[in-house]
A and B are shown apart, each in its own frame.
Chain A
Amino acid sequence: MITPVAVLMLILPAVGALLSVVLKRRARPAAVMTATITTGLAVWLTLSTFGAPYTRMLGDLPWLHGIVDTPILGIFVDPLASLMLLVVVPIGLLTVLYSTAYLTDKNREHPVGSEHYGRYYFWLLLFITSMVGMAVSPNFLQFFAFWELTTLCSWALISFHQNERSLRAGFKALLMTSAGSAFFLLAILIIFVRTNSFDFSALSKLPDGLRSWVFLFFLIAAWAKAAQVPLQTWLPDAMEAPTPISAYLHAAAMVKAGVYLMARTVSSGWGIPPKISLLMGGMALLTIFVALSFYFVQDDLKRLLAYSTIAHLGYVLLGIAIGGLGATLGFRGGVLHIICHGYSKATLFFCAGNIAYVTGTRNISELRGLGRSMPLTATAFFIGLLSVTGVPPFACFWSKFMILSGAMRLGGPIGPLILVLILSETLISFGWMLYVGQKIFLGAPLATAQVPSDIPWAMNVTLIILMIGCVAAPLVGMPLVQLMGK
């Protein structure tokens, strides 16, 4: 039962993508339908494999006969994959739902005619497929295939508006993530050459010195994908994408692929050398602060959120690094942060979308007093920002707290050092975000912001669900992460 469901879950969005191309202007219902069913399947899959990881190999590559005897393509659902599925598929559905209302000619920022629907939903659904495929990959090869597919979709979606800036941004994203992918490929090749296998477990069969290199290559790939320092610059530019895409690709899903890769490699065998862990953690901290430093100069709301995303992916990597150093709690916190941050940041991006939809601008300086005309958006934005900045009782508090607890499990001065750094970052980013939130939503409305607000129901429903997610994400994630670890 599980295998057909998993395969169906993988195929369905792809089918939806093809349907979209066929149906063109009427692509929306098909897209919503397939995404909905996929979500149902993902939830079912999570429930049915809860506590019992499931592996099923389905096929192999004919030209590898004799070298690799076991099948290569297959399905692998463990708690980590389940958690990833619960991030990418439901938020994917919400993105599709939101897009149906957002990408119309009523949009004041970028009116989109119905002739573009086919193209848009094709790439979006294909992206969902690729994320699902990546999440359930049983080995590095399949992982890499879908990883590259996400890059491709990302390029297409960032450049969706096809103007000068978005084309540039899309190409930049493609270039930088591909540069990372090259290192991924290199790492896979090394593993394959040494062990004749693409399995995740093959990592631990490598000799120590080589394993360090392989991990380093994986890490570089992850940095590129997750927009970490020094490869972070593509993400803010990618904000040229339509807002739902930013919400999905650049907050919830694609950038999470990078950290998912690290979580995967670290948790399969726990053989990560300490110095690589230290490098990962150190760079994560550096990323967090570099991203923080860019907060204060952003006037574009989406770019601000993008920098925040960069910082929070740093948190995830920090948690994983702490896990790599021996404190499983930190690893769990990091992985929990994937889901918590996914929902919270998506909320914020969708709010930014609402604002752009209604006012036609994303510039913080041009916005004020929107709370009166958009109470729901205001509520969602505040919940999202409180969640993202780790204010209890919202989602990210739990994951941040677990990461910090994990850090405290480490010996020596590292724990308290991380504690001080993270808490100071938390306070500063919290203060700034709150300031921005107040500026946009509270105060007397500006003339430019006084617009009749008839936000389509689909956008509001999305926000309400995400608000619930901002509170409930740890409830879902906590049982899953409890199953992870040595």
Chain B
Amino acid sequence: MVNAVHHVEVSIVILIVGSLVSLLFARRRKLCGWVSFAFVCASSVYTGLAVAGACTVASGEHSILSLPQLGSSLTLRIDPLSAIFLAIVAVIALLSTLYSVRYMEHYAHDKVAKFFPILLLCVASMTGVLVCTDFLFFLIFWESMTLTSYFLVTFESENAASQRAGLKYFIITHGATLCMAAAALLLWRTSGSFSFDAIRQTLSAMLTARPFLANAIIFLFFLGFATKAGLLPMGDWLPDAHPVAPSGMSATLSGALVKLGIYGLIRLFCSFLVVSPSLKIWGIILALAGTGSLFVGTLTALRQTDTKRLMAFHTIGQIGYICLGLGVGVYCLDMYPALATIALAGAILHAVNHACFKSCLFLGAGSVLYRTGERDMDKLGGLAAFMPYTTGTTTIASLSIAGVPPLNGFTSKWLIVAGCLLTGMRFPLFLVLGLIALFISLATLASFLKVLGSVFLGRADENLGIKEVPISMIVPQVVLAALCVLLGIFPQLVLRFVGHAIEGVTAMPVAGVNASRMWGGLFLIDGSPVAFWSPLAILTVLAVLALLSYAIQRAGGARTRSVPVWYCGEEHAAATVRYPASSFYLPFKHAFQGIYPSGKVHVPKFPAPLRRALDFDQWLYRPTVKVIDTAADRISRTHVGILQIYLLWIVIGAIVVTGILLWVRG
């Protein structure tokens, strides 16, 4: 099945060509967008073909370039795991590009020449990261992805906040990349090759022979991937970078780009490392890191009043969920393979789901920004009346991220939490982590109710001339919201491929999750069936019961009448008495103050004595020159104008030179 790889290559080439072509049209804002969209469409089709070809079995390898001296070659390969992430990248890239075509009108001062071409390159490098099987080239694609996204984050060149965020983003992630480079080089020292297969073999051999070094290498890899994924504290770049990027890019960042960190973590822990007891420690570390992120990230999100910053903190939180699932899975790989597959399936499924709902949320926030120019929730309100589609999609996505059944966020959270609780029955730590995850799911809900309540619901003063966004911006949001619903009701659609991915990566059958039934839904097996979730059945029953309730509501035949809001008899403008976002949950926010410390970075002061010591001119060369100068002055006094004395000098000089020559030759 070399075909699949060829499709991806074509897709990357299309994107690179598209980037250059769109640069030609950069002067015309919309045209440039549509041209880019056309190219992204074409590349997505090819990526889709590749995904279709490789979603059940891994494709063959295709080697493009070889550097025998470095033991490296640009070899591409798609396995079911990368196919899943490729699908995410393709879909999110397609939708955000479509969205950006009109959205970029928002930035009147900045040229689209620095957006669309770079966006296309960014997508190309993301695709490259996913199909590479050689760590040197993986790093190259990886860092291309970072640097292109850096330029997209700093797109708004007159906005000081975006510059700061971009700088922070690039420096932190570059540091992480260097960590990975160090790890790869340390491995290469033993293996002499950068290919994934070599890494796998060397790392497993090293774990028994030199466990300290091996674990240090794993830690460096973990640092690299976790930084990109946005795990706290390394993910500190994320809440700054996401809000300032253009919304299409925020969606891509959150939906696709940070997922590649997760992809890396899954590769590292499930595929690079052989199953061994030492994995358990790493599983616990991952789970704790994930729980820390989801706890701190989500509770900090609760305090935000900037829509996009709030969502960025939720990205940290949701990545925490994924990481928690991954950690539980890694912990169980050795002893409880069935439980491992449950948690891993939850993690991967949550990555897919998160791509859907978080991208939708960022696009929704972008639509609000596009029409109102405002990200501050305290200043927004009552947009539901003017922007029904955006309100609808954002509501669905909000409920989805909060895990309201039967939307898609619930299924994956259910898998992760069930994995935690079931593992917790053997190792109680995970029980606590699972409960924290459950609690934080509610906090997520609280946070998004705040968004819905303060931005969309309620009432605006009067018609401020706000309209629904253009259709090309609605479509991506609607598609994503529809995906949220569809994947929520039929998780089996994705779980099948997730199963293939897990089998491909861990070489274990997916024993813990049974997703074969349609109406019966999913059930988890730990010896016997222990957990159940049937979205279709629940949805049907809920629909029937809601209809029943509606019948009851209408039974009395009550008439409806529209009335103004009652302010206890006084008259107020809606905006003056609006309950502002910053007032939501105040006592609760007070209880969790200061869980996200922030500090300022200063340029290190160089100690003055050392600075003086390094100034060679001052204490070495100028004095030397001065000494020589004085000496020369003295010597010049030997110019007495008497021939005999000059002759004497010549004779002495000749003797000395001859002496030296004789000494050197003899």
Contact = CB atoms under 8 A, between A and B. Distances in A.
A314 to B, nearest CB: 14
Contacts of A175: 625
Given A296-B606, A443-B158, A408 B186 contact: yes
Interface in B96-152: 111, 113, 136, 139-140, 142-144, 147, 151
Contacts of B185: 404-405, 408, 419
A278 interface: no
A392 B158 contact: no
B143 A443 contact: no
A438 B166 contact: yes
B664 A434 contact: no
B157 interface: yes
B603 interface: yes
Contacts of B186: 408, 416, 419
Most buried by B among A371, A420, A430, A442: A442
Interface residues on A, range: 35 or more
A18 B69 CA distance: 46
B70 interface: yes
A293 B614 contact: yes
Contact of B616 (A230, A369, A408, A423): A230
B interface majority secondary structure? helix
Contacts of A404: 181, 185
9 tightest A-B CB contacts, nearest first: A392-B140, A392-B143, A408-B189, A431-B171, A444-B158, A423-B178, A442-B157, A393-B140, A233-B617
Given A372-B157, A431-B171, 11 more contacts: A193-B664, A233-B615, A233-B616, A391-B143, A391-B147, A391-B174, A397-B143, A404-B181, A441-B157, A443-B163, A444-B160
Nearest to B605: A296
A176 interface: yes
Contacts of A438: 154, 163, 166-167
B182 interface: yes
A419 B157 contact: no
B604 interface: yes
Contacts of B610: 293
B331 interface: no
Contact of A427 (B139, B140, B178): B178
Given A386-B147, A408-B185, A419-B186, A426 B157 contact: no
Contacts of A443: 157-158, 160, 163
A430 B174 contact: yes
B196 interface: no
A393 B144 contact: yes
Interface in A122-162: none
B209 to A, nearest CB: 17
B614 A290 contact: yes
Contacts of B113: 375
Interface string B61-79: 0000001011000000000
A444 B144 CA distance: 27
B665 to A, nearest CB: 6
A190 B664 contact: yes
Contacts of A415: 189
B131 to A, nearest CB: 16
Nearest to B175: A427
A297 interface: yes
Contact of A393 (B143, B157, B620): B143
A401 interface: yes
A443 B161 CA distance: 9
A341 interface: no
Nearest to B162: A442
Nearest to B146: A391
Interface string A150-185: 000000000000000000000000011000000000
6 contacts: A194-B664, A233-B621, A391-B174, A392-B140, A404-B185, A438-B163
A137 B158 CA distance: 53
A255 B147 CA distance: 30
A193 B663 CA distance: 11
A408 B151 CA distance: 33
Contacts of A408: 185-186, 188-189
A402 interface: yes
Contacts of B604: 296
Contact of A482 (B69, B143, B603): B69
A14 to B, nearest CB: 33
Nearest to B189: A408
Interface in A362-418: 369, 371-372, 375, 382, 386, 391-393, 397, 401-402, 404-405, 408-409, 415-416
A263 B222 CA distance: 38
A interface majority secondary structure? helix
Contacts of A63: none
A482 B625 CA distance: 45
Interface string A433-452: 01100100111100000000
Interface of A: 175-176, 190, 193-194, 229-230, 232-233, 290, 293-294, 296-297, 329, 332, 369, 371-372, 375, 382, 386, 391-393, 397, 401-402, 404-405, 408-409, 415-416, 419-420, 423, 426-427, 430-431, 434-435, 438, 441-444, 478, 482
B419 to A, nearest CB: 37
A416 B183 CA distance: 10
Contacts of A416: 186
A240 to B, nearest CB: 15
Contacts of A434: 167, 170-171
A371 B140 contact: no
A290 B606 CA distance: 11
Contacts of B175: 427
Nearest to B174: A430
B661 interface: yes
B181 A402 contact: no
Nearest to A297: B606
Contacts of A401: 70, 136, 181
Contact of A369 (B144, B154, B158, B603): B158
Nearest to A432: B603
Given A405-B188, A408-B186, A438-B163, A392 B621 contact: no
A296 B602 CA distance: 11
B392 to A, nearest CB: 37
Interface in B557-603: 603
A369 B614 contact: no
Contacts of A402: 70
A348 B382 CA distance: 51
B181 to A, nearest CB: 7
Contacts of B181: 401, 404, 423
Nearest to B617: A233
B110 to A, nearest CB: 9
A427 B171 contact: yes
Contact of A430 (B151, B171, B616): B171
Contact of B665 (A193, A382, A392, A431): A193
A442 B133 CA distance: 37
Contacts of B140: 392-393, 397
A363 to B, nearest CB: 17
Contacts of A409: 189
Nearest to A189: B664
Contacts of B617: 233
A296 B645 CA distance: 56
B163 A442 contact: yes
A22 to B, nearest CB: 38
A416 B178 CA distance: 13
Contacts of A233: 615-617, 621
Contacts of B665: 193-194
Nearest to B166: A438
Most buried by B among A375, A391, A420, A444: A391
Most buried by A among B67, B154, B188, B189: B189
B170 A405 contact: no
B158 A426 contact: no
B182 A423 contact: yes
B450 to A, nearest CB: 33
A420 B185 CA distance: 11
